[in-house]
Amino acid sequence: MRHEAILLAPLCAALLVALGCRALPRLLAHGLPIAAVGASAVLSTWALVDQLNGPPVVVKLFDWLSIGGLHLSFGLLIDRLSALMMCVVTWVSLAVHVYTVRYMRDDPGYARFFACIAFFTSAMLLLVMADNFMQLFVGWEAVGLASYLLIGFWFKRPSANFASLKAFLVNRIGDLGLLLGIGLIAGAAGTLDYAEVFAGAGTLAVREITVWPGISWPALDLGCVLLFVGAMGKSAQMPLHIWLPDSMEGPTPISALIHAATMVTAGVFMVARMSPLFEHSAMALSLVLAAGATTALATGLVAIVQQDIKRIVAWSTLSQLGYMMAGAGVSAYSVAIYHLFTHAFFKALLFLAAGAVIVALHHQQDIRRMGGLWRRMPITYATALIGGLALAGIPGTAGFFSKDALIAAVSRADGALGAYAGWCLLLGVAATAFYTARLLLVVFHGEPRGEPQASPRSPLEPVGPWMLAPLLFLAVPSLLIGWFTFAPVVLGDYFAGSVVNLPSGGPGGANLSESTAEFFLHGLYSPVFLLAALGGAAAWALYEWRPQWRELAAPALRWPARALKLGYGFDMLVERAVIPGTRGLARGAAEQADARFIDGLLVNGLGRIVRWSSRAMRRLQTGLLYHYAFAMVTAICLLIAWVILMVSG
């Protein structure tokens, strides 16, 4: 029953707060979700401890329906992969819930917000605990619904409505791919149950499906590609990444919860969960590697030119998701999930630190109007510095262990694509260090800029534990957790039985053959650390030591900077090509299919038929007795003639 409670506790709290949001006192509005998510976090940790010493647990909740030989049911799969994800989701969500008490205290939608984030937590748990494809899709769509509600939480802002609708529509593209992939696999395997599909992966790998008359394609290749399209939408891989930066229109706690630790990592988790299938599809893995490596470098470069504090961290999230996908693309699923694990803590920390700065500066988000905050916000600065060091992969931090291991796995990939991916990740290290150092230097160092809100030395630190406690809580694992988890998760066999690595599937990730201490010492003189140091030094030189150099370099970098500020023109392409084309298609469909066929033929045509038939029937009702008598006699004669014909025949 405790496994079911992990899922149901946040859901019940969300329903109670949603139904009573107008009547519940503030204490219960945040107390119920915090208590429920806290209970789920404790039970998730208990489940993780059980998995360290026991077999996976499958809990069948109920059967939904059966169609022929296809059975659809709801169940829970608790193995080491899902247990680790459950801990990430619940503990980060708990920190965000606590932080929200202070951040949203003056918002009129206070109770509604807590209902939404508790619902989101339960939806994410449903996704990661699923034991079949149907339940995965239900959780997938529930997470999409929750993100739509949360991104557009401030629905009176046109920008928030636009961002939520954009996120919803872009994710529908990915979700269509996921649905088609699930349907194809279900049709080929005859089941939606993970265990049965994974057991027959070898058979699916040699089975072909006709995609066009005369053209066949391996069913597993096509299925895995379609599944990855779903992952591209949810985990914002290029070109389906355009929704995530705009989603910063939501409140900062949502940025930390959805876009750092949970929703955007669902695609990475799904690829790892489907490793028994992806291992049989070299084409799908190549696509994962190419998309991940490209996203890692390209979006990291865009973060360099951003001026909004939350958008810098958002583009950083895109880059780190690319790293995770690249790791999965070389079959290093354990390293990809480990980077997901560490990234959840330090990225949530950076978002919450950014939220503390935004609140302190009366919701100012432009870093050009900040500066010199380290004296006025020492705790926020210290935690942001820890998060920044982990993001840049400085040796000793959690981000170092996961990112360096991931780059080491990708760098061992063969072929031109492997070389391309390796260089993308290495160059991305320098870009990450540059924009991270730029963020810290511009926001916390230098002289105060913009309109002064108070004396340059007056404190701005959030008062009370509601905002500071989550920052301190997340800072600890961001700094130290790599020392305790790297050896069992990456160097050991933690994911044995949860993910699959075929001998020919790629470099994997568990053969680094080093201890934690050796890996740390090697990292001190590795090219990765050198590139990170160069990126940080370049940011210090341009923003602290010789800021005039930026003015000198501006003319030469004008066009590259413009391209980066436009995000390579993806939004412009959508606005000028995709949207007009879609509107034209919709307009044509409305004029032809809707107006002529549906309205003209079906709706109005049916009405005309009824009107004509009723007019004809009305003429038969004359009210004259001899007309009715004539009709009766005629009918009797016809009936007698028919009977005689039947008897004689």
Q: Could you report the per-residue pLDDT of 541-555, keeping only the tens digit for each?
A: 988 888 888 888 878
Residue 245 has pLDDT above 60, yes or no: yes
pLDDT of residue 456: 54
Nearest residue to 331 (alpha-carbon basis) of 294, 297, 289 = 289
- Kindly report the average pLDDT of the chain as a whole number: 85
Domain assignment present for 340 = yes
Give pLDDT tens digits for 450-471: 655 444 555 666 656 788 889 9
pLDDT of residue 628: 77
Beta strands, E only, 128-252: 208-212, 215-218
pLDDT of residue 455: 47
| Cα 127 from chain centroid (whole Å) | 11
> What number of CA atoms fall less than 13 Å from residue 560's CA on the CB side?
9
Domain assignment present for 270 = no
Q: What is the DSSP string of 360-374?
A: HTTS--BGGG----T
Residue 430 has pLDDT above 90, yes or no: yes
Of the pLDDT bands very low, low, confident and very high (cuts 50, 70, 90), residue 335 is: very high
Same domain membership, residue 485 and residue 366: yes
236-240, 417-421, 589-593: least confidently modelled range: 589-593
Classify residue 458 as left (phi > 0), alpha (psi -120 to 50) or beta. Answer: beta
Q: How far apart are CA 354 and CA 44, in angstroms?
A: 28
Residue 476 has pLDDT above 90, yes or no: yes
Nearest residue to 327 (alpha-carbon basis) of 220, 405, 392 = 405
Q: How far apart are CA 14 and CA 120, in angstroms?
A: 9
Domain assignment present for 632 = yes
pLDDT of residue 495: 87
Q: What is the DSSP string of 524-576?
A: HTSHHHHHHHHHHHHHHIIIII-THHHHHHTTTTHHHHHHHHTGGGHHHHIII
pLDDT of residue 45: 93
pLDDT of residue 519: 87
Of the pLDDT bands very low, low, confident and very high (cuts 50, 70, 90), residue 609 is: confident
Same domain membership, residue 577 and residue 534: no
- Which residues, in sequence order, are bridge partners of residue 215? 212
Q: How far apart are CA 593 and CA 95, in angstroms?
A: 51
What integer is the mean pLDDT of 60-77? 80
The tokens describing 280, both together, are 């049989």
What integer is the mean pLDDT of 55-67? 82
Residue 89 has pLDDT above 80, yes or no: yes
Same domain membership, residue 441 and residue 323: yes
Same domain membership, residue 607 and residue 536: no
pLDDT of residue 326: 93
Domain assignment present for 276 = no
60, containing H or E segment: strand 57-67
Domain assignment present for 24 = no
Q: How far apart are CA 140 and CA 120, in angstroms?
A: 11
What integer is the mean pLDDT of 275-300? 91
Q: How far apart are CA 1 and CA 135, in angstroms?
A: 19
Same domain membership, residue 531 and residue 481: yes
Domain assignment present for 580 = yes
Where do we find the tokens 């709801």?
74
Give pLDDT tens digits for 569-607: 887 887 777 777 777 777 777 667 666 677 666 777 777
Bridge pairing between strands 70-78 and 208-212: unpaired
- Residue % of the chain over a pLDDT of 70: 93
Same domain membership, residue 465 and residue 392: yes
The tokens describing 60, both together, are 């069948």
Residue 227 has pLDDT above 60, yes or no: yes
DSSP 492: S
Cα angle at 591 between 586 and 595, to 5 degrees? 120
pLDDT of residue 203: 81
What integer is the mean pLDDT of 272-278? 90
pLDDT of residue 10: 92
Contacts of residue 138, defined as CB under 8 A and 6 or more positions apart, other chains included, come to 126, 130
Same domain membership, residue 440 and residue 581: no
Domain assignment present for 60 = no
Same domain membership, residue 529 and residue 381: yes
Answer with the residue of higher pLDDT: 532 or 24.
532
Q: What is the DSSP string of 120-142?
A: HHHHHHHHHTBSBHHHHHHHHHH
Same domain membership, residue 518 and residue 464: yes
DSSP 17: H
**Residue 381 is part of which domain span?**
313-491+511-548
Q: Number of folded domains in the chain? A: 2
φ, ψ for residue 407, nearest 5 deg: -65, -40
Same domain membership, residue 430 and residue 333: yes
Residue 621 has pLDDT above 50, yes or no: yes
What integer is the mean pLDDT of 5-16? 91
Answer with the residue of higher pLDDT: 61 or 82.
82
pLDDT of residue 454: 44
132-146, 180-194, 545-559: least confidently modelled range: 545-559
pLDDT of residue 206: 77
- Which residues, in sequence order, are bridge partners of residue 405? none
Same domain membership, residue 530 and residue 413: yes
Where do we find the tokens 């401890």?
49
pLDDT of residue 260: 64
Residue 510 has pLDDT above 50, yes or no: no
Domain assignment present for 327 = yes
What integer is the mean pLDDT of 325-341? 91
Same domain membership, residue 596 and residue 517: no
